[in-house]
């Protein structure tokens, strides 16, 4: 199977100290690594979800795919073409095929432009000749389920769900092959959340679009993605088919995240994997397995060396010393 997007051992770092400061401190690594060694493969019309808490590096990774961050190692191949190291000019034509839906539904729409100008701007930017922009705008609005009258509206006149739809219309304007959806349902009410996700599912089927979805909402991931990765401190701690991970999560962090999702049932028995504390700082990464300070299963070995990779299925893998978790035997150390 040929892949649309292949990310291999991607590393993205940011300078944490000025050059002078680093020289004074004799610091050879004045960086924080926001993404360290993420790999994924995305097939056409597939949805891959990246899940994790704030600061895990999800958005940094997504922005690198569309060229808004520059990775310093690893590779991103889109339709067989290496994206790392491309100049801005060389990247521009690629953005016809990769579109982005940004996190803030209303904030990513220019307040001074009408909906029609917003959704037809991609044509102008990429010099695509369209004989009738008005008709094209109507077609896009229809595609996302908004009446043509919305073309005349300004963003402040839209509700959260409508603003999201306009964002989707703009993303699909140039018929991209890949859409990066950064928190597509954040800030939306539950009744509207379904509408946006259904719209994305329909477009994926009708237009054969792949989605790279970033979210911290696990209930959404279960229904919308084929495969998923759980990210912690810039690494994928567990990746695999969504159904497998929901049926049997292996990594203690995955289990904790899954059990932290409150269920709308007052009498449900709540057998939680409780996590103490918060995500550590990227500047001061824990030793060994980086999850050990919060891990309920952590033993001495976890503090010493990075955990090994385990394969539990053809595409399901995780990094942990105790991949069978509490259910399996617990080696005494």
Binding site for other proteins (CB under 8 A): 53-54, 159-160, 189-195, 197-198, 201, 216-220, 222-224, 242-243, 256-257, 260-267, 270, 272, 274-276, 278
Pairing mode, strands 227-232 and 47-51: parallel
Q: Give the three-state DSSP class for 264.
A: coil
- Measured CA to CA, the distance from residue 321 to residue 310 in angstroms comes to 9
Residue 89 or 270 with smaller CB distance to other proteins: 270
Q: Look at residues 164, 157, 244 and name the one whose alpha carbon lies nearest to residue 197.
A: 164
**Minimum distance from CB of 67 to other proteins (Å)?**
28
Give the separation between CA 69 and CA 298, rounded to whole angstroms. 34
Q: How far is the CB of 217 from other proteins (least distance, A)?
A: 8
**Helical segments of 76-175, H only:** 88-91, 115-125, 133-143, 160-172
CA distances in angstroms from 197 to 164, 222, 224, 225, listed in the order given = 10, 12, 7, 11
Least Cβ distance, residue 32 to other proteins (angstroms): 16
5/212 Cα distance (integer angstroms) = 10
The nearest distance, CB 298 to other proteins, in angstroms, is: 16
Q: What are phi and psi of 121, to 5 degrees?
A: -60, -40
In the bound state with other proteins, the residue whose beta carbon lies nearer, of 38 and 257, is 257
Residue 223 CB, nearest approach to other proteins (Å): 6
Tallying the residues shown for the chain, one arrives at 333
Q: Give the nearer residue to other proteins in terms of CB position, either 174 or 201.
A: 201
Residue 140: how many CA atoms within 13 Å on its side-chain side? Answer: 28
Measured between alpha carbons, how far is 212 from 226 in angstroms, rounded to an integer?
Answer: 11
Closest CA to 67 of 25, 48, 95, 46: 95
Sheet holding 210-215, edge to edge: 98-101, 178-182, 210-215, 47-51, 227-232, 235-241, 317-319, 309-311
Q: Please, what is the minimum distance in Å from the beta carbon of residue 293 to other proteins?
A: 13
Give min distance, CB of 200 to other proteins, in A: 10
Q: Is the Cβ of residue 19 or residue 247 nearer to other proteins in the bound state? A: 247
CA distance 77 to 56: 22
CA 241, chain centre distance (Å): 15
Q: How far is the CB of 184 from other proteins (least distance, A)?
A: 12
C-alpha–C-alpha distance, residues 139 and 118, integer Å: 14
The nearest distance, CB 252 to other proteins, in angstroms, is 12
């Amino acid at each position: 199977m040929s892949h649309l997007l292949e990310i291999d051992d991607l590393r993205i770092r940011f300078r944490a100290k000025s050059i002078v400061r680093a020289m004074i401190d004799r610091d050879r690594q004045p960086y924080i690594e926001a993404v360290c060694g993420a790999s994924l493969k995305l097939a056409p019309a597939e949805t891959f979800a990246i899940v994790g808490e704030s600061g895990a590096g999800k958005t940094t990774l997504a922005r690198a795919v569309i060229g808004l961050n520059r990775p310093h190692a690893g590779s991103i191949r889109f339709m067989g073409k290496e994206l790392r190291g491309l100049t801005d000019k060389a990247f521009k034509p690629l953005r016809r095929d990769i579109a982005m839906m940004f996190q803030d539904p209303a904030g990513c729409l220019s307040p001074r432009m009408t909906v029609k100008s917003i959704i037809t701007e991609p044509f102008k930017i990429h010099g695509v000749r369209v004989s009738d922009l008005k008709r094209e705008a109507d077609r896009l609005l229809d595609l996302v389920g908004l009446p043509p009258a919305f073309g005349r509206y300004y963003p402040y006149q839209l509700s959260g769900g409508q603003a999201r739809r306009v964002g989707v219309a703009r993303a699909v304007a140039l018929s991209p092959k890949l859409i990066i959806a950064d928190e597509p349902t954040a800030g939306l009410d539950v009744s509207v959340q379904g509408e946006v996700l259904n719209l994305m599912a329909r477009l994926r089927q009708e237009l054969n679009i792949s989605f790279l979805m970033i979210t911290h909402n696990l209930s959404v991931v279960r229904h919308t993605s084929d495969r998923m990765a759980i990210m912690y401190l810039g690494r994928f701690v567990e990746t695999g088919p969504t159904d497998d991970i929901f049926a049997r999560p292996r990594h203690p962090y995955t289990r904790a995240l899954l059990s932290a999702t409150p269920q709308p049932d007052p009498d449900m028995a709540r057998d939680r994997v409780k996590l103490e504390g918060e995500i550590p700082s990227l500047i001061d990464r824990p030793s060994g397995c980086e999850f050990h300070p919060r891990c309920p299963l952590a033993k001495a070995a976890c503090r010493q060396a990075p955990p090994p990779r385990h394969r539990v299925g053809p595409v399901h893998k995780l990094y942990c010393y105790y991949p069978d978790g509490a259910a399996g035997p617990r080696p005494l150390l």
